A and B are shown apart, each in its own frame.
Chain A
Amino acid sequence: MTPDAINRLVAQLAKLPGIGEKSAQRLAFHVLRSPPEYARALAAALIEVVDRVKLCSRCFSLHDGPEGTFCGFCNDPRRDERLVCVVEGIADEMAIERTREFKGRYHVLHGVLSPLEGVGPEQLRIKELILRMQDTPIEEVIVATNPDVEGEATALYLTRLLKPIGVKVSRLAQGIPMGGDLEYADQATLARALAARRDL
């Protein structure tokens, strides 16, 4: 009989996305075999994450400062506060950040419009974006939602909301990834890129 403590750990690990019962077991035994400091450090890291990481109350990025303060992006005076990039989630924000090209601020929606899944504007951080327009001099909003059906609808929704306020709204261009991958681009991407071709 496996001790209950192990069963409990396996059960918790198996709840993680992408982790099946077997992998959970492997992970549990790995923890058990490792020096006890590892388990303590892991547990501390897990707890710290939930205790300290919150959402920035302005842009809803992740943030581990004290309650009521803003995140690193919002506090960085070198970042242009007139330019805001709207993303679906943290992973997209990280992807844009990796380019080191974007020097404005972010706004994380935490989802996209999806009536079939019961997600309407109220479930997203849209109201907060509009409120944000009132106390910061935002001139341009770049809507960087994914180019799928839900992402497009969300972008259109935001456009209709923001344009009347007098702010410039732009959308990420769609096309072929750089690096000569034309032959690997899927048909829909290629078709879109062809449609959005430009003069040289």
Chain B
Amino acid sequence: MKLLSLSYERFRNLEPVSFEPSPHATIAVGENGQGKTNLLEGLYLLATLKPLRANRLSELIRFGSPSAKVTGRFLINGAEREISVEIIPGGRTAFVDGKRAGSLDAYFGGVSVVAFTPDDLSVVKGGPDGRRAFLDRSVFNVQPAYLDESREYARALKNRNKLLKDHAPMSHLQAWDATLAKLGAKLWVRRRALMTALVERARASFQRIGRSPLEAQWHYEPAHLGEGIDFSAASEAELTERMLERLDARLTRDVERGFTSVGPHADDVEITLGDKPARAFASQGQCRALVLAWKVAEIENLQQANGFLPLLLLDDVSSELDPERNAFLMGYLADSGAQTLLTTTDAALVQRAAGADTKWFRVRAGTLTEEFRSASSTG
């Protein structure tokens, strides 16, 4: 898969623009607040239909405009496809080759993307919801069906919580318990499979990046699952059964709180460094290395699953990493051959990722200008 061209209309602060990225590294340089992250956000939206950092998609529409649109031409499995997403307040529409993409699966055939943003750093130190979202993005990247499945689960959960608050009769509640447990077990199995595929790779890449004698470990922690079940080996049917039991066992408590306390929505990923919880003890630099190791594992896993490398988006390279790890990352990117879009305030920081075919852009007040420079010069 290659991104051949990209264009933005009324997207955030970006002036209408259309450009052809490099098959390898494309680097956007600019001061703070000029529109660099906006550039990545547009591409991320195109590849996932989800916002990279906005809470609501409508935030992406340029102030005072009725709608926003991002269009990309991709080379997918040897064929050129034009994909675009239009956002209006309250909705988004995806188009493939000018036709409205009726089902989103047709859309998610061949594009995948891994993003590195400064916000990812809070994954290690922040609350469990951040880690779940982080994990879910990774699952979705390899399993597009996961998007629908997790939406269904969320809907069943909301319905059950409503019944808890309304003190609905048991007969009605049980029907939703069973529905929720089935969907919950499905999400568990998907998340578990991803953890299995990623953890070993992540540990190995942490060894390379972390420059630390400590071992890193990622462990999926199902909340309140109870004793006597091996989460790592249980079948989907056994997990369904167990979730049902636990929903039942914790019912009184859940009714009191008006909230369901068992299920994938309550779980966490425990990250440890030398057997100590990273959340409490990891240094800032170690957190960076942990996140980076996970993303590298994700890239490798996607390459193996899809047969092609994902698009890589790296936002604000300077604030993300210290010089040594930055050097590792830039070297890794250059060697991997992946198509990459990087942003930075300081071109010198990304120099190692640059090659002869690197394209440089200057971002100033939402305007993108290509700059021509020789591969060796910095500026």
Dominant secondary structure at the B interface: helix
Q: Which of A116, A154, A190 contacts B175 (CB 8 A)?
A: A154
B148: Cβ under 8 A from any A Cβ: yes
Whether B211 is near chain A, meaning CB under 8 Å from some CB there, is no
Once bound together, how far apart are the Cα atoms of A189 and B178, in whole Å? 20
Please give, as numbers and ranges, the residues of chain B lying within 8 Å of A89 by CB-CB distance. none
Cβ–Cβ < 8 Å partners of A121 in chain B: 171-172
Q: Are A153 and B179 in contact (CB under 8 A)?
A: yes
Q: Which stretch in A33-41, A73-81, A155-163 binds the other chain?
A: A155-163
> Is A3 in the interface zone, CB < 8 Å from B?
no
Contact A153 B171 (CB under 8 A): no
Stretch at the interface among B54-62, B161-169, B256-264, B344-352: B161-169
Q: For residue A101, give the distance in angstroms from its CB to the closest CB of chain B.
A: 27
Query: A186–B176 contact, CB under 8 A?
Result: no
A contacts with B, residue count (CB < 8 A): 22
User: A152's contact among B163, B174, B182, by CB below 8 Å, is which?
Assistant: B182
Q: Contact mask A112-126 → B, CB, 8 Å, 1/0?
A: 011110001100000
Interface range on chain B (Cβ under 8 Å from partner): 20 to 34
- The reply to whether B176 and A190 form a contact with Cβ atoms under 8 Å apart is no
- Chain B residue numbers with a CB within 8 Å of A161 are 171
Q: Map CB proximity to A onto B143-174 as digits: 1 under 8 Å, 0 otherwise.
A: 01100110010011011101100101001101
Query: What is the bound-complex CA distance between A190 and B105, given in angstroms?
Result: 11
A184 to B175, CA, bound (A): 32
A148 with B144: in contact, given A116-B162, A156-B178 (CB under 8 Å)?
no
Q: Is A136 an interface residue (CB 8 A)?
A: no
> Is A148 touching B152 in the complex (CB atoms < 8 A)?
yes
B183 at the interface (CB under 8 A from A): yes
Q: With a CB–CB cut-off of 8 A, which chain B residues contact A19?
A: none
For B108, the chain A residues whose CB sits under 8 A away are: 187
Partner among B106, B162, B174, B179 whose Cβ is within 8 Å of the Cβ of A149: B179
Sample of 8 more A-B contacts, CB < 8 Å, known A157-B172, A184-B103, A186-B103? A116-B162, A153-B175, A153-B178, A153-B179, A154-B175, A156-B175, A184-B106, A191-B145
